Structure 1
Amino acid sequence: MLALKRLMNSQQRERRRRRRLQARDGSITSTSKRDDWLLCREDGKSLLCGKRLRDSVSNLPQDIWCHIHSLMPMQDSARSACVSHAFLDSWRHHPNLILNKKTLGLEQNACGKGDMARAFTSKVDQILKNHSHTATKILKLDMFDCHDFYISCLNNWLEIAITPGIEKLVLFLPSGYQEVYTFPCSRLFGQNGSSLRYLHLNYCTFRPTVGFGFLRSLTKLYLRNVRITGGELGCLLSNSLALQRLELRYCSEIICLKIPCVLERLSCLTVSACNALQIVESNAPNLSTFNFDGDIVQRSLRQPLQVKDLYMICPNESNLLCYAITKLPYVVSNIEDLRLSSISGERVNTPMPAAKFLHLKFLEIYLDGDLSPGYDYLSLVSFLDASPALETFIFRVDQDEMLFDSISGGALQMRKMPEHKHDSLKNVKILGFCSAKSMVELTCHILENATSLECITLDTIYDAEDEDFVGRCSETSAWRSGKCSPQTSEMMLESNKALIAIEGYIVRKVPSTVKLNVRGACSRCHTPELILS
């Protein structure tokens, strides 16, 4: 409604501007119009002006009203349909349909599952039938909470909505429906699919075949919990030459993923939790970002990828860091941004590199889960040695159990590696800094051998919700509750030990040109025994 008011106000301003220009040019309005204007000024109620305004609004062409409604949010456009028949006709031409229980006014606590499904089906059926003669541009159909709807109704709705001109289609079905519902690929044949730019399917079966239509406009494809084989996906990809972004999550039937060379515009590929996947082959010449979440197998990356940004998380594989340092330099030789999440533990220390990441500038390593007792954090110097152009190093450690001996006070013989220089390194963050001897050695090594270092941050408590380093209790972040994440007494004790280690072994090694940031437990939510100034 605000958009409608703004348009009407702009039209009034434009008419006043034209009258002023006419008067300036010497043109005189008719006596009747001048009298009408005087009458409006003299009559406080401005009845005549109001009537003329209503008449001018009601006389707007239908295509203007349709355009106005297309700019309004769907709910506002639907509400305005209750005002007049003109608005009702415009609402029935609204091109953007976002249909979920919120936009339809359905509350979960107001009806049971069966009632929810019936109410949802009835409303969607009525809306789409009233839009059957309209070219829909956007259809977002979220049926995640409706477990008892009739599949035949869904096919009828897609037949109404998927017509020439549709640009965006989002379909969220209830969990488990990939076993019972097959998306009608035939609806995308010919002109129906030629305008589609965005396709997002969730919980269904999708079976494109060799004769699948030519999706020449498709730029973004998201498949989540979708039953589709690697061959069927290949049929789809080979006919989607404009594709820029591909995301596959929980697609359990894909064994071999092949990205054809015809996808010259593909820049981002995300593969997550596709448990049967064994091979990834990419011939896309401009693929720059690859996000991989899954198991490492012998041939998971068959040939070198020309990616610059790589994120890897392998929930069922230990020793991810060992794999990364020995294999990835050959697989992603042009990498510039590398993020590794090892959540199944590291059983061995990181070996020295056989090859280098010559272009790597940003490295982030996250360790979670079981580490072998006495894991040598100093072995991470291997990554610094393998990355001569590295500028930023972020190391996150989240341990539930302390599997190391804390460094003791007094003099300590530190291991030194003077031949290992890191001339490009400027910024270092260690989040979850502990009092392990090898952690202290790693920090001291960086301070002594990173000749361009500008800032180093040591945080003795790892807080996953404070990844942007804005403050654990920051209430400026929408997701924060106003309090720190809870910490066990063991974690608080270790934080105190880490602060003592920083004061005893690290502070004196910080060059005058380097800024040192140290964070302990939050004084607002915890009371640490020691806080460095």
Structure 2
Amino acid sequence: MRKSYFKTSTGYKFPGDKEFITRVNTVLRQHSGTEVERMEIKFALHSKNADDIDRWVNFAIASKAKEFAINFSGLSKSLIFFDLARGKRIVREEPYNSPSQLFSPNNGLYLRCLELMVVSLQLPADFEGFVSLKSLTLVDVSITDEDVHCMLSKCNLLEFFEIAYCRMVTSIRVLHPSDQLKHLVVDTCPKLQEIELNCSPTTLKYTGTMVPLVFASTSRLTNINILFLPYQSALSYIVTGFPSTLPRLEILTLLCRERERTIVPEGPFRFTYLRSLRLELVLTDDEKIRKTDALDYAYLLKVAPFMETLELLMWMTTWRHQPYCRKDGELRIGPTHQHAHLKFVGISGFFGHKDQVELALHILQSSIMLEKMEITPKLEINRGLLVSDYFYEEHYMDDHRVATEFVCKADDRNVVNVVRVPSRDENRSSMDG
């Protein structure tokens, strides 16, 4: 008998440790000798449960499991990230230490996907690698730089590598050539200082502080997704930082928090392959005065002449709401840069501030092939920032009015759509009615 999928988790109930362990042991005895495609264990267990867990690991090895996942938080992966991002400890007891037999040469013959979450890992001295492993995920794993290096250097078929919230890791380095690694995900390893890989990935997703990113070649890197935790100018990083080294970048997603304006030097640099750009911008106050300027982002039309889709997800965390009116002064109208490829623009978090109006008008007037510009006051910025519209909903009508009065009025092609988002009070009134 062959079983394609085997999962041991809490289901819809929340049994205690002993009940869960008894249930798993019973099920595994019933399936002794069965070949397993995937085995997944998800429950809040610790080192004190090592004897039982070791037997489960041995079962996975004996059943020639091609995919093996251990998650001793008892939570889904998204909830693990949600808690860890807020500094919440997932496990309060000593984590389970992965046994040496998991890394035996015999196991490496079959294993293609390994996911380890909330465990401790120390490779045996004779570890030779997993010859068939293509996907490796480490989340909240106690592991050293040396063991990360060893796993990456000895798993020659590895295509996908994800490492997140590994608190001991300071460096991710592989100096020997690796042509197989295509997808790299690095998420909030607090002590990380450098990433240096002798490979040419296709996609990169990075969350954390700004660290050196060094690859043997960036010729294949077409899709990057970066979230900077400290304050960092998105425009400056796009033009002078790591993205500027990527000649074939097609898709860029970047989230930055900014509190000061950065003047980017003019230069010949261009993203000639960039087709889609998504910027998530948190623009903050400094002593009740906002020093950032949304109009600066009009420069993107120059550096990405073949861009087709532009999404600007903004959050103005200013101390007071100030939608534009004529007494605030004339709108700045700079020289338009004729952009012949931009077809869709989405602007969310449009609070009607003067520089937001100016940016929307500049893009509208410069984009000669524009098919649709959608503007909404609703906050759509994500990445677990715990943003709520509650404190902004009372201004939705003003924001909608400003966009309609100043942006729609300048639209002679009928491409602008200003989304009217009802406030909480309006929703309550409609329900009462």
What TM bracket, shorter-length normalisation? 0.7 to 0.9
Match of residue 423 from structure 1? 340
Give the C-alpha shift of residue 402 in structure 1. 4.8
Task: State which drifts further: 409-418 or 207-216.
Answer: 409-418
Report the TM-score when normalising by structure 2. 0.84
Residue identity opposite 1:312 in structure 2:
I
1:336 aligns with 2:237: no
Give yes or no for the alignment of 1:163 onto 2:62. Answer: yes
CA distance in 2, matches of 1:173, 1:370: 38
Quick one: which of 368, 382, 400 aligns to 1:499?
400
% identity of equivalent residues: 21
1:221-245 deviations in whole A, cap 9, x for unaligned?
1110012223212211222222221
Aligned with residue 236 of structure 2, among 322, 325, 333: 322
Aligned equivalent of 1:305: 218
1:143 maps to a residue whose letter is F
Q: CA deviation at 1:165?
A: 2.4
The 5 A counterparts of 1:203-352 are: 203-208=118-123, 211-259=126-174, 262-285=177-200, 287-297=201-211, 299-301=212-214, 305-306=218-219, 307-342=221-256, 344-349=257-262, 351-352=264-265
Q: Is the 1:164–1:193 contact (alpha carbons within 8 Å) kept by the matching residues of 2?
A: no
Shift in Å, 1:212: 1.4
Count of paired positions: 402
- Name the counterpart of 1:82: none
The separation in 2 between residues aligned to 1:441 and 1:250, in whole angstroms, is 40
C-alpha distance in 2, partners of 1:226/1:263? 24
Helix, strand or coil at the partner of 1:155: helix
Instruction: Find the residue that maps to 2:154 and give its secondary structure.
Output: coil
- By how many angstroms is 1:333 displaced? 2.8
**Within 2, Cα distance between the matches of 1:320 and 1:412?**
27
In 1, Cα distance between the equivalents of 2:378 and 2:419? 8
Partner residue in 1 for 2:21 = 121
Question: What are the superposed Cα offsets for residues 59-91 of structure 1, whole Å, 9 maximum, x if unpaired?
Answer: xxxxxxx35xx3xxxxxxxxxxxxxxxxxxxxx
Alpha carbons of structure 1 residues 523 and 346: separation in structure 2 relative to 1, 3 Å: closer
Alignment of 1:354-365 (within 5 A): 354=267, 355-365=269-279
Q: Deviations over 1:473-532 (max 9, x none)?
A: xxxxxxxxxxxx7533xx2443222223223322222132x521111222796279xxxx
Distance 1:412 1:447, change over 3 A: farther
CA deviation after TM superposition for structure 1 residue 328, in Å: 2.7
1:283 aligns to what SS in structure 2?
Answer: strand
Asked if structure 2 preserves the Cα contact closer than 8 Å seen for 1:96 and 1:138, the reply is yes
Pair 1:449 & 2:358 matched: no
Instruction: Name the CA distance, whole Å, in 1 between partners of 2:206 and 2:93.
Output: 23
Letter in 2 for 1:99: T
Q: Which has the larger radius of gyration?
A: 1
- Distance 1:159-1:444 versus aligned 2 partners, 3 A rule: same
SS of the equivalent of 2:6 reads strand
2:57 counterpart letter in structure 1: L
| Amino acid corresponding to residue 385 of structure 1 in structure 2 | K
Residues 161-184 of structure 1 show CA distances to partners (whole Å, capped at 9, x for unaligned) of: 213622010111143379543212
| Structural RMSD (CA) | 2.8
Match of 1:389 in 2: 306
- How far does the alpha carbon of each residue in 1:88-144 deviate from its partner, in whole angstroms, 9 at most, with x for none? xxxxxxx64211122xx7x32xx6xxxx11111222223334444333332211122
1: CA distance, partners of 2:152 / 2:174:
7
Q: Which residue of 1 aligns with 2:426?
A: 526
* Between 135-144 and 344-353, the greater mean CA deviation after superposition: 344-353
Q: What is the CA distance between 1:323 and its match in structure 2?
A: 2.5
Structural mapping, 1:390-409, within 5 Å: 390-402=307-319, 405-409=322-326
Give 1:455 deviation, angstroms: 0.8
> Mind listing any 5+ residue stretches in structure 1 that lack a counterpart?
1-65, 71-94, 466-484, 529-533
Structure 1 residues 495, 522: closer, same or farther in 2, change over 3 A?
closer
Q: 1:184 aligns with which of 96, 99, 108?
A: 99
Quick check: 1:153 aligned with 2:153?
Answer: no
Q: Is 1:511 matched with 2:425?
A: no
What 5-or-longer segments of structure 2 have no aligned partner? 74-89, 383-387, 429-433
Question: How far off its partner does 1:414 sit?
Answer: 2.9
Residue 36 of structure 2 aligns to a residue whose secondary structure is coil
Task: Return the offset for 1:429.
Answer: 0.8
- Please name the residue that 1:97 is paired with: 6
Alpha-carbon distance, 1:381 to partner: 1.4
Q: 1:317 to 1:464 in 2, by over 3 A?
A: closer
Answer yes or no: is the 8 Å Cα contact 1:244–1:268 preserved in 2.
yes
CA contact (8 A) 1:182 1:204 kept: yes
1:396 deviation in Å? 0.8
Q: Deviations over 1:317-369 (max 9, x none)?
A: 33344333321343323211011112x43322452454322211111111236
- Of 100, 111, 116, which residue of structure 2 is paired with 1:196? 111
Conserved 8 A contact 1:177-1:203: no
Worse-matched range after superposition: 299-308 or 503-512:
299-308
- Quick one: which amino acid aligns to residue 123 of structure 1? R
Contact kept? 2:404, 2:418, Cα under 8 Å: no
1:487 aligns with 2:390: yes
Matched-pair contact (CA < 8 Å) for 2:305–2:341: yes
Q: Say whether the 8 Å CA contact 1:258–1:282 is kept in structure 2.
A: yes
The structure whose RCO (Cα within 8 Å, separation 6+) is larger is 2
* Aligned-partner Cα distance in 1 for 2:302–2:368: 14
- Cα 1:169–1:260 change in 2 (3 A) is farther
Q: Report SS of the residue matched to 1:435.
A: coil
